[in-house]
A = this chain, B = another copy of it.
Amino acid sequence: MKTYRKELWFNVQARRGFVNITRDVDECLKESGIQDGLALVSAMHITASVFINDNESGLHQDYEKWLEKLAPHQPIHQYRHNDTGEDNADAHLKRQVMGREVVVAITDGKLDFGPWEQIFYGEFDGLRRKRVLVKIIGE
């Protein structure tokens, strides 16, 4: 069994945003030399997500509006977490809807994807450097 590990760093220049990281994960896979196995791609911060969906900007606007409706940032003081001096309780909620991680099959040295699958980093409390972990196991 071979294993591979890499951290990807991001600094989203807004409170919230989506970054397509498919190419970064693909480069990790090539670097790993692993042909067959499983890749875990996970947000190392608890106010961010990694998820798989469509690379379409209209949809990303829909996610932004929808998540703000489900778990609004304002008013800050509706959340007990923000009594600690934080203002990011909503980010911890949004991240649960979008998920922490994806597990991707690796087959013939490629991300084994359907036609439109792309991997995104979802930032819900940005304006600082944050990390994604890529861990691949296989042969």
Contact = CB atoms under 8 A, between A and B. Distances in A.
Interface of A: 1, 3, 5, 36-38, 40, 42-46, 51-54, 56-59, 61-63, 66, 70-71, 79-84, 89, 92-93, 95-105, 107, 112-117, 131, 133, 135, 137-139
B135 A38 contact: yes
A105 to B, nearest CB: 4
Contacts of A102: 100-101
A112 B5 contact: yes
Nearest to A57: B80
B92 A59 contact: yes
A42 B114 CA distance: 10
